[in-house]
Structure 1
Amino acid sequence: MGSHVMLNVRNGHAADREKALANGIKEVVAELRLVEVADYVAFLRMDALGNIADLVESSAQLYLRAGTLRFADGGDVHLGWGTTPTIDLDMEFRVPEVTVHFRLGLSATTAAVHINYIAFAEPDTDPDVNTARLLAAIEGARLRHAPRA
């Protein structure tokens, strides 16, 4: 099952970082998209945020070190007559080198990453260096073995 990830382009560095994060979690996103959008809508509307946290944790543990990616206890539902339902989940990617707060948008056909906040443990004055550090942090968080069937 392929997953297309769209990016909200504001500037080159933001787009590069969102693309890096989207690529780093694409398998997790594919797992999360196995759950019906209607279920996420129900969880968000019924304030059953723990259910979403459990889904994110169980999906992430297949591909990322424990605790690296988590649901940040918030989200929005976008429903309209004649439109595809979408949800936005508040997420956090955290490793010692960097913390990223972002929104993961999910619909029946797409996924999108939008970074809201990023903090580097030792930021560099060169944004390209910081982007490279983010790439390295994402790669370092990925598990090296294939998940068991």
Structure 2
Amino acid sequence: MLRQPHTSSREIIVANAIREVVSELRLVDPADYIALIRLESMASLSDIVMSAAELYLMPGTLRLGHGSEAHISWNEPPRIVLDLELRPKGVRVYLKLTLSADEASVELGYVAFDKPSDDPEANTLFLQQALENARLRRTPPSRAGCDTQTG
């Protein structure tokens, strides 16, 4: 696949947008990913991805795509590759998330805008804003009714 000049900046935007989700996905033991992938239990993998995403992103924003890979050998640590779909409002992003012992990486496959601009920079800014809008906003618990004074 021929990489476009704006692909790297979009990969950084996507990686930053799903950073917390990736941290949650890394809590799953690699052996579990390997078993689910080898047994083609895509529904279970999908549940893992949706459970991790629901903590940080609006419902339906991130989901498992159509495939996953487990790379294992005697010579190197396991590497798990998850096909993911990001669907914030107005854009669809197809990507591969690679999880290994020391790092996680994002590789964009395709980005489709509902109303694309002729300017790639404008599209990149739209992607960044759409992903920001898809983040869940956590409000601190209300302290109403709590008496903080001691008497």
TM-score (norm 1): 0.88
Paired AA for residue 27 in structure 1: E
Aligned mates of 1:146, 1:25 — CA distance in 2: 20
The alignment-based identity, stated in percent, is 46
Partner SS, residue 74 of structure 1: strand
2:81 is aligned to 88
Over residues 50-87 of structure 1, what are the superposed CA-to-partner deviations in whole Å (9 max), with x where a residue is unaligned?
11111111110000000000011311111121201101
Indicate yes or no: 2:42 matched with 1:49.
Answer: yes
Aligned mates of 2:126, 2:62 — CA distance in 1: 17
The aligned length equals 139
1:23 is aligned to 16
Aligned mates of 2:66, 2:132 — CA distance in 1: 25
Paired AA for residue 82 in structure 1: N
Q: How far did 1:146 drift?
A: 6.2
Question: Which structure 2 residues correspond to residues 117-132 of structure 1 after superposition, within 5 A?
Answer: 117-132=110-125
Q: Tell me: higher relative CO, structure 1 or 2? Use CA pairs within 8 A at least 6 residues apart.
A: 1
Aligned mates of 1:147, 1:121 — CA distance in 2: 34
1:14 is aligned to 7
* 1:72 maps to which of 62, 65, 68: 65
1:5 is aligned to none
Aligned mates of 1:13, 1:143 — CA distance in 2: 27
Ranges in structure 1 where 5+ consecutive residues have no aligned partner: 1-9
1:37, 1:108 within 8 Å by CA — same for their partners in 2? no
Pick closer, same or farther for the CA change 1:147–1:29 going to 2, 3 Å.
Answer: farther
Aligned mates of 2:50, 2:139 — CA distance in 1: 17
Q: How far did 1:44 drift?
A: 0.3
Indicate yes or no: 2:28 matched with 1:35.
Answer: yes
Aligned mates of 2:133, 2:101 — CA distance in 1: 30
Range 95-104 or range 133-142, more displaced: 95-104
* 2:90 maps to which of 91, 97, 106: 97
| 4+ long deviations beyond 3 Å | none
Over residues 22-58 of structure 1, what are the superposed CA-to-partner deviations in whole Å (9 max), with x where a residue is unaligned?
0000000000000011111110000111111111111
Over residues 1-33 of structure 1, what are the superposed CA-to-partner deviations in whole Å (9 max), with x where a residue is unaligned?
xxxxxxxxx454100000000000000000000
In our comparison, the structure showing a higher alpha carbon Rg is: 2
Paired AA for residue 23 in structure 1: N
Over residues 98-125 of structure 1, what are the superposed CA-to-partner deviations in whole Å (9 max), with x where a residue is unaligned?
0001001011221110010110011111
